[in-house]
Chain A
């Protein structure tokens, strides 16, 4: 019996693949203060699912298309400067979620597991899902690595990047597309309400221990993987929902990282904090 035959192993493998991608992408979300933006795109995924059923589209295609449309709508609305960016995000975030819920409830012909969409159903991950996670995940990571220098340059200083021909306007577009792809991947793993948590918490945890952007990105991936493993075993042991358990595990790691390095004082060498 191969490891793919066991539902728990499939969940672990799928979750780890997902966490590897959220690390570096999550760093950009944190650096560029795009947390609410990411949340809005994630919430629009439910509308994407609903519209996929209405128009009989592939689920992934529908989710990616709607997420991109929402982010473009945001860009256009921001340019008009009629409302502040966070007010616009609030409107789009919750109205797309609500619209999705309404459309799903109107469809009597199909039954959709709403809880699985909102909070993920990682234990139901199939071998095909794993292939999708690793295939799309490799594409996302590949694009990130390929455009790494211009992405960092545009994040550090837009004008400098523009003056030295790094095409910073392209980087925001790239990040939006990658985020849309990740959301499509994430639906099965943690669900659309918890995607942003796995983007932000490992990256925020990694910040304290990282000296360069590259180290922070790798560390965020590793911490994400630890959270997935910890969360899944935790959910197995305590019989808790798997998606939220992964986020709770990430939170626990984050809280541990907040403990001051010299909490136990220099006189008590034995109890020295494990990290440093």
Chain B
């Protein structure tokens, strides 16, 4: 799994990226790439540097060390994690769709219909619920016809049924447009079944692999039911090492290394360094 993408040029590539802010490393030694048609999901606990890694990939955050390479003329569609808008700025949903680029009216209606909020096209962005805001942001990102769709916790504030529908939609978008998708999962354990590569972050890349095997596990089906297993997958792993304050890693056997990237049981990739 994953090798099918490697033939094509990466849309974005992070090479040993580190971000140092306010006296500490937010992330360090993060390497991954996103290829066309590939869905890459970042998981990890709060403060593990998921958002920082994504923002570095987008060029919103400048890396302190390492290198970020984006394909020239890369069109990005970005769904940020937080969207707060000052009340003083009147912004109907349909105007929000034209935020960074003007689109045709029919296209806007189609995108809003696709995410299920066509009826809210004249509503103010400030009046939307969390889930509606996410859908509006997704519709806007889709209108950009992106090569790379980046979603920072796209299902936050969306109920479970909506969550599955949204993941289905993301899959459809990938299948139809062939864009690469980089998404952050709000849940450490739940990722899309269609994810090609799961990357677990904890200040650095802990492990990476496909979620496929886990999705078929009995434990997962017991937790979420067979229906959900078609859309969702659990990617579980044990942390067999401890992170030291200086960024080095102590393994279960007591050895200390500069990094801890290792191959997970479910991984078909050979990522040993």
Contact = CB atoms under 8 A, between A and B. Distances in A.
B59 A162 contact: yes
Q: Is the interface of A mostly helix, strand, loop or mixed?
A: helix
Contacts of B59: 162-163
- The size class of the interface chain B forms with chain A is 20 to 34
A216 B90 contact: yes
A213 B78 contact: no
B77 interface: yes
A201 B91 CA distance: 20
B131 interface: no
A31 to B, nearest CB: 5
Interface stretch (A14-22, A91-99, A153-161): A153-161
Contacts of A159: 55, 58, 60, 78, 80
A198 to B, nearest CB: 17
B99 interface: yes
Interface stretch (A131-139, A204-212, A224-232, A246-254): A204-212
B80 A157 contact: yes
A170 interface: no
A31 B89 contact: yes
B99 A153 contact: yes
B87 to A, nearest CB: 8
A207 B124 CA distance: 13
Nearest to A149: B100
Contacts of B90: 207, 210-213, 215-216
A150 B100 CA distance: 7
B86 to A, nearest CB: 6
A13 to B, nearest CB: 30
B144 interface: yes
A160 B140 CA distance: 11
A209 B99 CA distance: 21
Interface in B164-192: none
Contacts of A165: 76, 100
Contacts of A153: 99-100
Contact of A164 (B86, B96, B102, B144): B144
Interface residues of A, number: 27
B100 A161 contact: yes
A39 B85 CA distance: 23
A166 interface: yes
A105 B144 CA distance: 58
Contacts of A163: 58-60, 76, 78, 80, 150
A153 B90 CA distance: 13
Nearest to A207: B88
A203 B98 CA distance: 22
Contacts of A212: 90-92, 95
Nearest to B55: A159
Given A156-B99, A163-B58, A164-B76, A31 B86 contact: yes
B224 interface: no
A103 interface: no
A33 interface: yes
B83 interface: yes
Nearest to A209: B90
Nearest to A210: B90
Interface string B58-80: 11100000000000000011101
Interface centre among B83, B90, B95, B102 (most CB of A within 10 A): B90
Interface centre among B80, B88, B92, B101 (most CB of A within 10 A): B88
Contacts of B99: 149, 152-153, 156-157, 160-161
A30 interface: yes
Nearest to B100: A164
Contacts of B144: 164
Interface in B94-125: 95-96, 98-102
Interface in B23-73: 55, 58-60
Given A30-B88, A149-B99, A160-B80, 16 more contacts: A31-B86, A31-B89, A149-B100, A150-B100, A155-B89, A157-B85, A159-B58, A160-B99, A162-B60, A163-B59, A163-B60, A164-B77, A164-B144, A210-B90, A213-B91, A213-B95
Interface of B: 55, 58-60, 76-78, 80, 83, 85-86, 88-92, 95-96, 98-102, 144, 150
13 contacts: A31-B86, A31-B88, A153-B100, A156-B85, A157-B83, A161-B100, A163-B58, A163-B60, A163-B150, A164-B76, A164-B78, A165-B76, A212-B95
